[in-house]
Amino acid sequence: GQQVMQIPQYQHVQEGEDFTTYCNSSTTLSNIQWYKQRPGGHPVFLIQLVKSGEVKKQKRLTFQFGEAKKNSSLHITATQTTDVGTYFCAPGAQKLVFGQGTRLTINP
Amino acid sequence: GAVVSQHPSRVICKSGTSVKIECRSLDFQATTMFWYRQFPKQSLMLMATSNEGSKATYEQGVEKDKFLINHASLTLSTLTVTSAHPEDSSFYICSANPGQGYEQYFGPGTRLTVT
Cβ distance B34 to A96 less than 8 Å, yes or no, reads: yes
Q: How many residues does chain A have?
A: 108
- The pLDDT of residue A1 is above 60: no
Q: Chains A and B: how many Cβ contacts under 8 Å?
A: 48
Average pLDDT, chain A: 95
- Integer Cα distance of A24 and A5 in angstroms: 5
Kindly state the average pLDDT of the residues B65-84: 95
Residue of B3, B42, B44, B50 to mutate when probing chain A, most A C-beta within 10 A: B44
Check: CB of residue A87 under 8 Å from CB of residue A38: no
pLDDT of residue A64: 98
A45-100 pLDDT per residue, tens: 999 999 999 999 999 999 999 999 999 999 999 999 999 999 999 998 778 889 99
Residue of A42, A63, A104, A105 to mutate when probing chain B, most B C-beta within 10 A: A42
Q: What is the dihedral of CA A39, B47, A48, B5, to 10 degrees?
A: -60
Q: Which residues on chain B are in Cβ contact (under 8 Å) with A48?
A: 102-103
DSSP string for residues in B47-58: EEEEETTS--EE
Q: What is the dihedral of CA B34, B39, B42, B47, to 10 degrees?
A: -30
As beta bridge partners, residue B49 has B34, B57
- Integer Cα distance of A10 and B4 in angstroms: 29
Query: How far is the CA of A74 from the CAs of A18, B45, B102, in angstroms?
Result: 11, 21, 19
B2 pLDDT band (50/70/90 cuts)?
confident
A19-53 pLDDT per residue, tens: 999 999 999 999 999 999 999 999 999 999 999 99
As beta bridge partners, residue A56 has A63
* DSSP letter, residue A9: S
